[in-house]
Structures are given as structure tokens and as C-alpha cells.
Amino acid sequence: MEIGRLKEVDIRNLWKHEQYDFSDWLSKNENIEHLNDILGLTLTDVSKEVYVGSYRCDLVAVDESTGIKVIIENQLESSNHDHLGKIITYASGLDAQVVVWIVTHAKEEHKSAIEWLNNNTNGDVNFFLIELHAYRIGDSLPAPYFEVVEKPNDFIKSTKVNGEKSELNKSQSERLEFWNQFNDILIEKGKPFNVRKATTDHWYDVAIGTSAAHIAITLVNKESYVGVEFYINDDKEMFDKLLQKKDLIEEELGFKLDWQRLDNRSASRIKYYIKGLNFDNHSNYDELIDKAINSAVKMRDTFKKYI
């Protein structure tokens, strides 16, 4: 069997200018997926050249599931102090929670700076330093490759309380362990939806193609269940229209749902319960996770037809 060899391609031969060429390419839906896999987010509403004072941030996007703001600064050259200052300015001016700095070569001093920012800012702001490369095999088309150089240290972030380090409590540790195992199985199943970073949160969001709603997988240890729900942010009309098709939706899904309009709140939810969660006994985690993933995919694909 003949085996090819990777050959690196000069980035400037693919994109002459980061503002007019690379940013335009990256902003397209099919290309932003390269970053989604790395960040564990689903970026949508991508805007180019957003002004911050007299400066312009290359790309600004929103994570579909959580609504957090993400800024992306592209630099088709080695990292420098000027762009380091810019990303901090953009993060402050746009109130971003995720900052992505893409360069062709990350200098050691800037690796250290991003690492320091991740370790010494609060858990609401996360910095990524990414090197952009491109490769081809023989005469093949060049393929871009994003190499993560620095990323948030989730352990330090999650254990920082009022400037002091503290141990994770039992519930937080158990959730982190569950979501790590969840991600492993999600990858084994071919990633039917985007992998999100494991956290100590009790929820895991799955995008469905609209910012008005999403699928949420929740851990409720006190009541011994994993929930899979269609969560509507603020649209009672959407809930009512879906409720009219309740029988049809449940027949298509193959299981019953708990329809919660929540009249005293802006949000509504349509929930499925998977019993058997016990943080003190992990023996059924594979089964619970498999059922949660399959149910989330079914709910995503079914509800998308009716909204």
C-alpha cells in the first residue's frame, strides 16, 4: 500500500489577508465548524468587522445554546504584543466570555500570557490561543488544521472562589466525572451532536439550529434521574403550537413527555425522564448515557420539524 506524506502549505498562499480573505472564509457556516469542535460550542450569528472604539474585531459570534458571546481575532503571522492588547480590548468592550486568538506561530511570551490570563481571571472569561496550519498530501487540496496551543484550565477555573482555591464538592466532582464519561461515549457514537467541554454544571446543552430553543440534558441526583428536555427560552406561542401536536410528537418519539408551560416564568420545557441516576453507583452510567444521547438526538430531530 502506497502511503502519502503530509506537506505543509504556506498559509499566505491560501489567504492573502486575514481581514478580507481568511475572516471571510472562516465566517461561513461550513468553515466555522472547524472551531466548534475545538471550543465545544455551536457558533452562530457570526458578524465581521465589529467596531470596538476605533478598532475592529475580526469576528464576533454567539454560542447557540448558551447565548455567550465569542470574539475571534485572526492574525496570519506570528503573535505580537499589539494583537494581545487588542484581544483584551475587544473582550472588555464587547463583554465576551470566550476569546479566540488565531495566529500562524505562537511566541513563547504570548503562550505564557494566555496561560496567565486563563489561570488568573474569573471563570466567566476563557482564552484560546490557536495556531493555523494547512497541509496537503501529494496533489490533494490543502486542508486547514487548527492546533490549540493554550486553552482554559477548567480545573483552576472551577475551583476558584473569591480569589482562593477550594476543593470541588462531591456533587461538582460527580457531575464532572459523568460529563467526561458522557463525552467519551458521544465521541464513540460518532458525535451525533457537538461535544461540549465537561464542566461541574448539572446541564449539557445541545443546539437545534435556533437560538429560541435547545435540547438540555440535566442531572438531578436528588430525584435519581437524567432529564432530556426541549427548552424554550421565551416563546409561549411556540410551546402552545407544539402542545397541539403532542400526540403526534410523542408517537414519533416513542415515549411520553412532561409538558411544562411554566406560566409564571418566561421559559417553558418539554421533558423526558430517565430514571436510575445515583452518584454513589456508577455501574449503569454507560446505559444512562447511551439512552440520554439517543433521546436527545430523537428530540432534536423531531422538534425541528415542528418549529
d(CA 274, CA 292): 7
pLDDT reported for residue 187: 93
Per-residue confidence in pLDDT tens, the chain, 307 aa: 788 888 999 998 899 876 678 999 999 888 888 888 888 788 888 999 898 888 889 999 988 877 889 999 999 999 999 999 999 999 999 999 999 999 999 999 999 999 999 988 876 789 999 999 999 998 899 999 999 999 987 644 444 443 444 456 888 889 999 999 999 999 999 999 988 888 888 999 998 888 889 999 999 999 999 999 999 999 999 999 999 999 999 999 999 999 999 998 899 999 999 999 999 999 999 999 999 999 999 999 999 999 8
Query: Which domains are seen in the chain, by residue range?
Result: 6-160 (3.40.1350.10), 170-303 (3.30.1460)
pLDDT reported for residue 166: 47
